[in-house]
Amino acid sequence: MVLAVQVPSASVQLAGVKVRRLLTRYKSNVSLVFNTNKQDKDVVIKKVGRYYVQGTPDESLGIEQALLSLDFLPDLIKARLGTELSASIFIIVKDISDNSLGSEIDGLATRPDIVLLNKDFIKLKTNEELEMLLIHELTHTAMFNKTLFSNGGYFAPWFNEGLATFIENEPTPYIFKDNESLAKYEIAG
């Protein structure tokens, strides 16, 4: 079940605290999505396989097309990381330019199984570049609950980013059909 809640941005933390008891009891069956921007009246939530995509119809269409091309990803993550993608993953297109990370970001994976995509940046991406971004961020979501030896997690940033980049780069020859687009991606990152 997906529970979408419209709240002012200042109330997200408080609303999250109030529904935490509900989510703790039903966490395998309930997912919560907050929409904090009242101006986004044309935002839709669309289900694409295991993914819920929240954005405008145009943004959602581009992401949907990229996701449909990534049908191999669950098998790749299972084979390389020994873990699985969650049954429900939320991909939310928002303006995340004003963040506290100190850098401009294309996307950000966060718990529980949410990928935020920067709406300004994804407009500039080709379908292939969007696929690569989604592979990278979705790999992060798969690593959230994975433990290593002695119950250690994937917490070291260099290790976490390294594995996500490894998985992202493995299907590169299959995503970029010609050398020119691959070279542009390799140079621009």
Among 12-16, 33-37, 95-99, which stretch is predicted with the lowest mean pLDDT? 12-16
pLDDT tens digits for 76-113?
999 988 888 889 999 999 887 765 555 568 888 988 88
Top mean-pLDDT range of 13-17, 97-101, 108-112, 126-130:
126-130
CA distances from 14 to 11, 27, 35, 52 (A): 5, 18, 14, 24
Q: Respond yes or no on whether the N-terminal peptide bond of residue 74 is cis (omega within 30° of 0).
A: no
Q: Above pLDDT 70, what percent of the chain?
A: 68
Structure-block tokens of residue 43? 């935002």
Q: Above pLDDT 90, what percent of the chain?
A: 28
Evaluate whether 51 touches 89 at the Cβ level (below 8 Å): yes
What mean pLDDT is reported for the chain?
Answer: 76
pLDDT over 70 at 72, yes or no = yes
What pLDDT is attached to residue 117?
Answer: 93
What pLDDT is attached to residue 94?
Answer: 87
pLDDT tens digits for 134-178?
999 999 998 886 766 555 666 677 888 888 888 998 888 888 888
Backbone φ and ψ for 117, nearest 5 degrees, come out as -115, 135
Q: What are the residues whose beta carbons fall under 8 Å from the beta carbon of 152, sequence distance 6 or more?
A: none
Taking the model in full, what pTM does it have? Answer: 0.75
What pLDDT is attached to residue 176?
Answer: 84
3-state class of 126 per DSSP?
coil
What pLDDT is attached to residue 41?
Answer: 67
